[in-house]
Every structure is written in C-alpha cells, then in structure tokens.
C-alpha cells in the first residue's frame, strides 16, 4: 500500500533530477535569505551556481547542533516570522533546546510525508490510532497526528504518560495502532500484565515506533508481548520531525523520503562517505523545507544504507534502524562501544528481560562497565548455578561482540527505572 | 519527457540562464513564471534549438538535444507557440495552419494533414469561420488561437507556449487557458511560460519561478500559490494586504 505511489516508486533517474532541481533552489534560498549560510558561502567563495550534481553537495560545510544554538531562536529561519505558522523546539535529549519553524506549506509537506510512513506501516483510514508521543514543543505528537488525520484514521491524541489511562483507553476505544517509543511499548506491555489484561484480547494490530534507538531483539519482544507488527520510523525536529523515513510492512529497514531529504552517511572521523552498506553518521539536507531549510545537518545518528531493492516495490532507498549516536559512543579503554551493541547481545540471551542499564565508572584509572539486567523471576529465584550460567553466557557474548570485558549483574524484574519517553540506558559516572 | 540539467545559455557573452534544471513529465502542464527579462523566452528558445546552450544538458524523450537542429527537434515532437503570435499576416488562416502541417505532410502525407486541420477547426471553431480571412485581420485572441492551431498541426508531444495571454482581454485569456486544459485532456504535455502567474499556476500541475536567470522556487502549483515569496513578487498579495 502506498500513499504517493508516483513518488514512492519513482525511477532513480527521475528522482535524481527532482533532487537536483530542489537542491539548487534550496541553496539559492538559504544563500540569499539566511545570513548564516550567506556568510558561510561567502567565506568558502562558494557560488550556488556551481552545484551541478548531487555529489557537489559534499563541497558544502556542515550545519551542527551548535549552529542552531548560536542562532537561537530565529536566526536560521529562511522566511520572515509572519510567514511562519508554527514553531517547535527540539526535545533537547542532550543539551540546550533549539527552535525550528514551519510555513503553511511545510506543515502540508510534513503531514504528507508522515502519511506515507503510516501507510507504509500498514495503517489505513479504518484504523484507530493512539498517539502516545508527547504533544507540545516536541515534534513527535503533532507530526504523527497530522499524517494520521490526513490518511483518515481515527486519531486519539492521548499524548505521553499516564500508563494506566493509556491502557484503559486502548481497551475502551478499541485502538488498533499505537504510536510511542519502543521502550514505552514494553512499559505498556508490563503494565498490562500487572493489571491482568491480556494484550491478545485488545484490538491492537500495529505499532509505529520512533524517537530512540532500538534493536531487532526488542522488535521481537514487542511482537511477542503485544502481538503487533512493530515498525520503526525516523525523524528529528531539526530537519522536520517524524516523516524523514519509515519502515514498510516488510520490516527490513526504513524507506527514506528521498524526494524531500538528501541523506549522506559519512565516516564520523574523516567525513568521507562510507562504502555502500557500512555504518556511519547520518547527515541530512532538506530539499523542500521553506521556513527552516538545513544544509548538511549532522544528526550524530549512526546508521547505514541497506543495499538492494525492497520487495514492497518502493524505490526509495532504505536505511537501517538508527543504531546509536556518535555522542552516545562510549570510549572504554580506547575501544568504541555503542549501547546498541550491548542491547543486541542481551536480547539474544534467554530469560533476559528487555530492561537494562549500562553503568560506566572509573576505578583506579581504569574504565569499567557494568550492565544491570533484569531477568525473569524464575531465574532470579532459581538456584545459583542457573544464575551463574546466565551471567557467564552474557559476559562471554559481550566480550566477543563488544571487545571489552563487561561486568554483568542480574537484578529482579521491575527494579530498573522505567521511562515514559526516551529511555535512559547509560549512566556515565566517570568524571572525564 | 523534457529534462534540463544545469543549463547555461545566453547571447554572445551574456549569460542569461544560470544553472537551470527542470523537467516536464508526460501529461503534465508545467508553468514557468517570472518577470520580464528573467530568461523565460531564452529558455524556450534554447530548448527548441534557436540558441545553443553554453553548458548543461537538454534531453527530449530520452534523447539528448545537443547538436540537433530546430527542424529535427520539431520533427521529434516539440513545438513552440511564439510570443506575440507571429502568424503570417498576408496569408489566410487555413494557409497558416497548413504551413504548420509540413512536418506531418512529410511523414504521414496529405490525408493526415487534412485530418489534423479538421481537428484544429474542432478545437478552435472560430478559425473555421475565418478560414478564408487573412491572418492579419484577426483579433488578438483569434491570432493566438491560430498560432496554437498552427503549432498543433504537427501533432506534437510537447507544446511550449510563450506568454499566450500577452495583450489579451481577461475573458479571452480565460478561453485560451481553457483550451490549454483541453489540450492536456487530449494527451498533450504543455510547458507554459507566463507573466500572469496566478492564471498560469491556476491550471498548471507544477511550476518553476525564474528570477534573473535562476530557478528560485519550484514545486506543485498549489504550494507555489501558497508560497509567500511567490505571493509577494508575482501574485500581488502585498497590494491586497495594503488595501485591506
């Protein structure tokens, strides 16, 4: 099922023509309307007439989160404020918040792109969609809301939090599609167990998850516990919000809305493109944004392009679910460790619950990682031997996967802190 | 159908078009709007082969137009309805139309030309009434229809129109634009160049805004009509605001 088949299944050659046209007019607009870019282009003696292919984009400078902060609040807007109909602010997962704006056309584009993502996930106008992303300055709630309304689904704008009420409404309103962070989906699943509600008795069929990195293991876990098709979608407020990319029902990577965004995957050290299919930092250039265009925005998100065609028929290139952030990257005894690598291992071990916390400390000038993992009650109260076995299994797998030795501590179910939004997985106690 | 990439073109040393990229898909009406001197006519003249590009590529129906003569481009199905009609004033309406049929005559013969002539008379009934009249004696609107009919006589795939509304009364402009819509309904593809931005975007699927030789905005017509830069520069919103 497609929302805009003529775009989603476009021939590559036509897509590239469209991208080039849009890139050229975007560069013209930022170069004339945004003092920040105008100055940057002048410093580089860059003339936007010189952009003659998509590869020429690489000659342009990056835009960093810091640039957004330095131009707080409206410095990077490309239109006067009277043309802006909406202002959002980044959720500030790390650091000071930043401000982004939308024109009427931007809101229209946004709705349309989210409608693509929602349709690709399998949701139709016959669905009842419960949006448990925060509304307000965070782009998640409104973004999904617009897309869902556009396709004609029945939208429940419940917003984030109040788990019991979420479940109550899910039950009473016969919700068929759930929108939230993947970790919150598991929180909901656990709460249902506690309340004695069988998820299979609900009408829930689809889960559209985003806002934080997750793993294939977590997808399985969600599928098992809630019995739904769980798809991932990607976006960030700096370039628009949700709607940048989303998985189709094949669940094998996120189709990028390439007619509206140009994505590069670069080596975070050299800033050269990584070989096709390898992991690097995602850098995004917007092609159609009016109020807040972004040129080569460094997302700090780590992912890779997935080579090959998708059986769904979309020709839009796919990216892997975000595997972590360059700034989440922990350097342990000189080895780069990503929390996602640890999560992946944990999900492969039987009896381990999908809740964990990574604690990093420095003892006698040596880094030490401890992973706290929740395990099923049966294992916890079982004989010591069984516990030992689980710990050893996790340890040896982590050592081979991550490359550093990791301490593992089992904890009882529901002892780790639960989050209603983005889960905090890493506690770094080192004073670096 | 038509693809233009990084086109630079102009006259002598004067570069009028700077790095223009645009495309027209089959069955679309695409409007190119912009003020006088923005380079709109230069663009059409470059596509049809009257001006050689300085840089960049133009391809029509997947084939490059480099080193193609005007005659070959017209024969491959791309025609231009020039600005200011430019009908042959001392010739009759029918003679003008038949002149437009010379390509068809060569490839498909006399019968096809006469059949196409009949088709033009159906599309523009006024031309049938005036068939024996000298083209120079027609009104502005009738001359515009004649210029369109003459271009359509070659049964083109892509019709490029240069300012069809210039100097015409609003009611006639409406008729001309209705005919453009009908052309599309009959399977034609249209690249429409206009100063009358509102009317052009009103019938087009997509549009490009040209300013001093550069495409500054492009997108679906509805988006351009809602774009405040376009509104200020071409749709006169500012004036309306002031009055209100």
CB atoms within 10 A of CB B90: 8
A404 phi, psi to nearest 5 deg: -135, 155
Residues B171, B243 share a domain: yes
Q: Is the dihedral of CA B212, B217, B223, B226 positive or negative?
A: negative
User: What pLDDT, in 10s, does the model give residues A89-101?
Assistant: 875 555 577 899 9
Predicted confidence band of residue B243 (pLDDT cuts 50, 70, 90) = very low
| Interface with B, mutate which of A10, A11, A20 (most B CBs under 10 A) | A20
- How many angstroms away from the CA of A30 is the closest CA of chain B? 10
- Asked which of B155, B188, B209 is the last residue of a domain, the reply is B155
**Same domain, residue pair B163 and B242:** yes
Neighbour count for residue B197 (Cβ, 10 Å): 24
Token pair for B148: 């369109």
User: Where in chain B does DSSP place strands (E)?
Assistant: 2-11, 14-24, 29-33, 55-60, 63-64, 78-81, 158-162, 189-194, 206-211, 214-220
When comparing pLDDT for A404 and A298, which is higher?
A298
ipTM, 2 dp: 0.85
Using the predicted structure, report yes or no on whether residue A123 has a pLDDT greater than 50: yes
- How many Å apart are CA B142 and CA B85, to the nearest integer? 10
Q: Do A25 and B217 touch (CB under 8 A)?
A: yes
The residue that leads in pLDDT, B210 or A425, is B210
**DSSP-assigned letter for residue B213:** T
By residue range, what is the domain housing residue B163?
1-77+158-244
Could you tell me if B14 and B91 lie in one domain? no
How far does the CA of residue A242 sit from the closest CA of chain B (Å)? 21
Q: How far apart are CA A336 and CA A323, in angstroms?
A: 13
Closest Cβ opposite residue A52 in set B6, B23, B229: B6
> Mutating which of A52, A57, A102, A293 best tests the B interface, going by the most B Cβ atoms within 10 A?
A52
Q: Which of B3, B23, B227 sits opposite A105 (nearest CB)?
A: B227
> How far separated are the first and last CA of chain B, in Å rounded?
44
Same domain, B111 and B145: yes
Domain with B184 in it: what CATH number? 3.40.50.300
Q: What pLDDT score does A432 carry?
A: 56
Residue B109's pLDDT band (cuts 50, 70, 90): very high
Which chain A residue shows the shortest CA-CA distance from B58? Answer: A17
B123 in the same domain as B69: no
Q: Are B54 and B62 in contact (CB under 8 A)?
A: no
CA distance A215 to A221: 10
Question: Is the Cα torsion angle A389, A390, A394, A395 positive or negative in sign?
Answer: negative
CB A171 within 8 A of CB A200: no
Q: Determine whether the interchain pair A105/B215 forms a contact, defined as Cβ–Cβ distance below 8 Å.
A: no
Of residues B143 and A90, the one with the higher pLDDT is B143
Residues of A in contact with B30 (CB under 8 A): none
Q: What is the percentage of chain B residues whose pLDDT exceeds 90?
A: 80
Q: Mean per-residue pLDDT for B143-165?
A: 95
Average model confidence (pLDDT) for chain A?
90
Measure the CA–CA gap between A11 and A316, rounded to whole angstroms: 9
**pLDDT above 60: residue B239:** no
User: Do the Cβ atoms of A20 and B21 come within 8 Å?
Assistant: yes
Q: How many domains does one find in chain B?
A: 2
Banded pLDDT at B50 (limits 50, 70, 90):
very high
Kindly state whether residues B73 and B91 are assigned to the same domain: no
Q: Are B134 and B165 contained in the same domain? A: no
Question: Using beta carbons and an 8 Å cutoff, which residues of B are at the interface with A?
Answer: 3, 5-6, 18-19, 21-23, 25, 214-219, 223, 226-229
Whether residue A345 is predicted with pLDDT greater than 90 in this model: the reply is no
> Cα-flanking dihedrals φ and ψ of residue B101, to 5°?
-90, 10
Closest to B197 measured CA to CA, from B205, B188, B189, B207: B207
Calculate how close chain B gets to A287, using CA atoms only, in Å.
11
Beta bridge partners of A410: A373
Q: Rounded to 5 degrees, what angle do the CA atoms A56, A58, A63 make?
A: 130
Cα gap B209→A64, rounded to integer Å: 31
Decide if B229 and A52 are in contact by the 8 Å CB cutoff.
no
- The reply to whether B128 and B171 lie within a common domain is no
Cβ atoms of residues A341 and A356 within 8 Å? no
What is the nearest CA distance from B66 to chain A, expressed in angstroms?
Answer: 18
Write down the residue that tokens 């080193």 correspond to: B67
Q: Nearest to residue A281, comparing CAs of A343, A244, A323?
A: A323
CB spacing of A103 vs B228 below 8 angstroms = yes
CB A407 within 8 A of CB A371: yes
Contact criterion met (CB < 8 Å) for B226 and A25: no
What pLDDT, on a 0 to 100 scale, did the predictor assign at position A262? 98
Q: Which of B155, B178, B208 is the last residue of a domain?
A: B155
Query: Which of B3, B21, B219 is closest, CB to CB, to A24?
Result: B21
Mean pLDDT of chain B: 91
pLDDT (tens digit per residue) in A22-69: 999 999 999 999 999 999 999 989 888 888 999 999 999 999 988 998
Nearest to B18 among A49, A79, A83 (CB): A49
Task: Tell me if B195 sits within 8 A of B35, measured CB to CB.
Answer: yes
Rounded CA separation A240/A139 (Å): 8
Determine the pLDDT at residue A92: 52
Instruction: Please answer yes or no on whether B5 and A108 come within 8 Å at the CB atom.
Output: no
Dist. CA B147–CA B86, nearest whole Å: 7
Of residues A14, A49, A103, nearest to B19 (C-beta)? A49
- Across the beta sheet with A426-428, what order do the strands follow? A407-411, A366-375, A352-363, A426-428
B-chain residue closest to A260, CA distance: B219
Backbone angles phi, psi at A343, to 5 degrees: -60, -40
Residue of B nearest to A107 (CA): B223
pLDDT at B241 over 60: no
In this complex, do B23 and A17 lie within 8 Å of one another by their Cβ atoms? Answer: yes
Distance, in Å, from the CA atom of A26 to the CA atom of B216, rounded to the nearest integer, reads 8
Q: Is the peptide bond before A73 cis (omega within 30 degrees of 0)?
A: yes
What residues of B are in contact with residue A290 (Cβ under 8 Å)?
A: 227
Distance CA A192, CA A17 (A): 50
State whether B19 and A52 contact (CB < 8 Å): yes
Query: How close, in Å, is residue A100 to chain B by CA atoms?
Result: 18
Q: What's the pLDDT at A414?
A: 82
| Per-residue pLDDT at B244 exceeds 50 | no
| Chain A / chain B CB contacts < 8 angstroms | 55
Same domain, B94 and B214: no
A293 vs B36 pLDDT, higher one: A293
Distance, in Å, from the CA atom of A293 to the CA atom of A287, rounded to the nearest integer, reads 8
Q: How far is A105 from chain B (nearest CA, A)?
A: 6
Domains and CATH numbers, chain A: 1-327 (3.40.50.12780), 330-428 (3.30.300.30)
Q: Which pLDDT score, from 0 to 100, does residue B143 have?
A: 95
pLDDT at A309 over 70: yes
Q: Tell me which DSSP letter residue B136 carries.
A: G
Nearest CA to B80 out of B142, B2, B10, B6 is that of: B2
Residues B179 and B63 in one domain: yes
State which residue of chain A sits closest to B25, comparing Cα positions: A14
pTM recorded for the entire structure = 0.85
Assess whether B163 and B72 both reside in one domain. yes
Nearest CA to CA, how far is A253 from chain B (Å)?
29
Of B155, B188, B204, the one marking the end of a domain is B155
Q: By the 8 A CB rule, do A200 and A170 touch? A: no
If asked whether residues B1 and B59 sit together in one domain, one would say: yes
CB atoms A14 and B23 under 8 Å: yes
Alpha helix ranges (H) inside A121-236: 139-151, 163-172, 182-195, 216-226
Model confidence at A112: pLDDT above 90? yes
- Here the contacts of A269-278 (C-beta below 8 Å, separation 24 or greater) are A271/A62, A273/A58, A274/A304, A276/A305, A276/A307, A277/A304, A277/A305, A277/A306, A277/A307, A278/A304
pLDDT of amino acid A333: 72
Who wins on pLDDT, A385 or A264?
Answer: A264
A52 and B228 within 8 Å at the Cβ level: the answer is no
């Amino acid at each position: 099922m497609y929302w805009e088949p003529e775009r989603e299944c476009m021939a590559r050659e036509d897509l590239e023509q469209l991208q080039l046209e849009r890139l050229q007019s975007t560069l013209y607009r930022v170069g004339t309307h945004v003092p920040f870019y105008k100055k940057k282009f002048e410093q580089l003696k860059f003339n936007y007439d010189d952009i003659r292919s998509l590869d020429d984009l690489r000659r342009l400078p990056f835009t960093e989160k810091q640039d957004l902060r330095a131009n707080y609040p409206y410095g990077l807007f490309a239109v006067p404020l009277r043309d802006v109909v909406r202002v959002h602010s980044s959720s500030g997962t790390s650091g000071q918040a930043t401000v982004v704006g939308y024109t009427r056309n931007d809101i229209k584009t946004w709705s349309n792109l989210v409608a693509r993502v929602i349709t690709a996930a399998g949701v139709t106008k016959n669905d009842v969609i419960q949006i448990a992303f925060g509304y307000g300055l965070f782009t998640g709630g409104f973004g999904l809301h617009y897309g869902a309304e556009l396709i004609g689904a029945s939208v429940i704008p419940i917003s984030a939090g109040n788990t019991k009420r979420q479940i109550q409404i899910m039950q009473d309103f016969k919700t068929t599609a759930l929108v939230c962070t993947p970790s919150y989906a598991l929180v909901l699943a656990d709460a249902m167990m506690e309340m004695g509600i069988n998820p299979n008795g609900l009408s829930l069929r689809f889960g559209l998850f985003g806002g934080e990195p997750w793993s294939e293991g977590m997808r399985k876990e969600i599928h098992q516990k809630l019995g739904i098709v769980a798809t991932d979608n990607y976006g960030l407020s700096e370039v628009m919000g949700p709607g940048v990319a989303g998985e189709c029902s094949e669940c094998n990577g996120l189709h990028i809305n390439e007619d509206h965004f140009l994505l590069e995957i670069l080596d975070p050290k050299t800033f050269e493109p990584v070989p096709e299919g390898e992991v690097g930092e995602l850098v995004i250039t917007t092609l159609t944004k009016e109020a807040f265009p972004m040129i080569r925005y460094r997302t700090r998100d780590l992912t890779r392009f997935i080579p090959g065609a998708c059986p769904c028929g979309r020709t839009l290139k796919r990216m892997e679910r975000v595997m972590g952030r360059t700034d989440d990257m922990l350097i342990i005894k000189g080895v780069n460790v990503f929390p996602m690598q640890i999560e992946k291992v944990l999900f492969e071990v039987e009896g381990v619950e999908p809740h964990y916390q990574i604690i990093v400390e420095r003892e006698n000038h040596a880094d030490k990682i401890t992973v706290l993992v929740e395990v099923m009650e049966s294992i916890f109260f079982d004989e010591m031997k069984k516990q030992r076995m689980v710990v050893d299994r996790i340890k040896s797998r982590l050592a081979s996967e991550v490359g550093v030795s990791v301490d593992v501590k089992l904890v009882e179910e529901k002892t780790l802190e639960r989050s209603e939004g983005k889960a905090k997985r890493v506690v770094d106690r080192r004073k670096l | 159908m038509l693809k233009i990439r990084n086109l630079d073109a102009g006259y002598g040393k004067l570069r009028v078009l700077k790095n223009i990229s645009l495309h027209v898909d089959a069955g679309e009406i695409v409007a190119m709007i912009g003020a006088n001197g923005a380079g709109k006519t230069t663009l059409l003249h470059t596509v049809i082969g009257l001006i050689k590009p300085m840089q960049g590529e133009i391809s029509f129906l997947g084939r490059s137009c480099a080193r193609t003569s005007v005659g070959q481009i017209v024969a491959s199905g791309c025609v231009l309805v020039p600005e200011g009609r430019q009908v042959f004033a001392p010739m009759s309406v029918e003679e003008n139309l038949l002149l437009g049929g010379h390509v068809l005559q060569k490839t498909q013969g006399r019968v096809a030309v006469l059949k196409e002539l009949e088709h033009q008379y159906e599309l523009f009934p006024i031309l049938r009434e005036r068939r024996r009249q000298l083209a120079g004696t027609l009104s502005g609107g009738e001359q515009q229809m004649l210029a369109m009919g003459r271009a359509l006589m070659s049964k083109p795939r892509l019709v490029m129109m240069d300012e069809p509304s210039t100097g015409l009364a609003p009611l006639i402009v409406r008729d001309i634009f209705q005919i453009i819509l009908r052309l599309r309904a009959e399977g034609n593809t249209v690249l429409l160049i206009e100063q009358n931005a509102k009317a052009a975007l009103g019938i087009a699927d997509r549009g490009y805004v040209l300013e001093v030789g550069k495409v500054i905005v492009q997108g679906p017509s509805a988006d351009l009509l809602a774009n405040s830069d376009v509104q200020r520069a071409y749709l006169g919103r500012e004036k309306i605001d002031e009055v209100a």
